[in-house]
Amino acid sequence: MTASPNRRQFLHSAAVPALALLPARLRAQATAAPLTLALAPFLSPAALLQAFRPLREHLEQRLARPVEMGTARDFRALYEATVAQRHDAAMLPAHLARLAVSDAGHHLLAATIDSLQVLVLVQRDGAVRHAADLRGAAVGMLDPFALTATVGRLWLQEQGLEGSVRVVALPSVNSALFALDRGEVAAIVAGQTQLLGLPPSTPRSERVLATLRDIPGPIYVARAGLPAAEREALRAALLSFTPDPQRPTTAANAALHAIDPAVWARLDPLAAIARRALAGG
């Protein structure tokens, strides 16, 4: 993958009991051929890999092979690595998943959450009470190819704030909350479910300034060249994942399912924005 060394992290899994039960020949084959799955970098790498550990363990058991999960330095790098088929599968923001399928021939695997709210957050006791109060201030978001950032920028346009606020790209939601707590930005944009399951050290001094449109959660896609048998086995394994009922519903802890065609179609305008941005460099 194209992640920088300090951001790229993989989980090299020890053999699970299911692997130990296989004949030696098949066990050796499985160990030699891990499946690689890239995750959208909306949390810090350590928090991201910890959140998705139950899914990784489930996939290893169902597929009887090691699964390596990684991430990328930002969403553009993730998308470019996906299109270049540097990993077997990826969890992409929904609009980038739409592009990967329509423009690069990748295959849909499973959806996470059909609808989640995008929030604009400010300091709980801060002076910002209305959108107009952000004029001249800094607003933190994930990088421009994140779906929440796309929606956040559209909101700034709708509020007449485009050009009068400084948009700051932040590497993760937990780092964004630190920046908000320290007063480095006056507001941040994040998905509602991205605020669940954060590391305990993350400051939670935020207040909701605005609730923006609903968006679909991330979507899993398989690379165009993944053999059909492997693709279908991965799809079946994803769809059989059972989320932990004791944990909140997030992209990492969701009942994975086939994407709703209506949801898929509604992604076209947002995918078009990303397509233009990618073409523009």
pLDDT at 148: 97
The confidence band for 281, taking pLDDT boundaries of 50, 70 and 90, is low
HSE, CB side, 13 Å, CA atoms: give it for residue 47: 20
pLDDT at 213: 83
**pLDDT tens digits, one per residue of 115-161:** 999 999 999 999 999 999 999 999 999 999 999 999 999 999 999 99
The confidence band for 26, taking pLDDT boundaries of 50, 70 and 90, is low
CATH class of residue range 17-114+216-280: alpha beta
Cα 237 from Cα 165, distance rounded (Å): 44
Contact 135/127 with Cβ under 8 angstroms? no
**Ranges of CATH 3.40.190.10 domains, the chain:** 17-114+216-280, 116-215
Please list, in sequence order, all residues whose beta carbon lies within 8 angstroms of the beta carbon of residue 200, skipping any fewer than 6 positions away.
none
Residue 127, exposed/middle/buried by CB under 10 A (0-12, 13-18, 19+)?
Answer: exposed
Strand partners, 89: 37, 222
The fourth-level CATH superfamily of domain 116-215 is Periplasmic binding protein-like II (3.40.190.10)
Mean pLDDT of the chain: 90
pLDDT score of 5 more than 70? no
HEC-encoded secondary structure of 238-254? HHCCCCCCCCCCCCCCC
pTM: 0.86
Cα angle 179-270-133, degrees, rounded to a multiple of 5: 40
CA-based nearest residue to 224, from 114, 108, 129, 110: 108
Phi, then psi, of 253 in degrees rounded to 5? -135, 60
Higher pLDDT, 30 or 202: 202
pLDDT at 197: 81
The confidence band for 170, taking pLDDT boundaries of 50, 70 and 90, is very high
**pLDDT tens digits, one per residue of 61-74:** 999 999 999 999 99
pLDDT score of 201 more than 50? yes
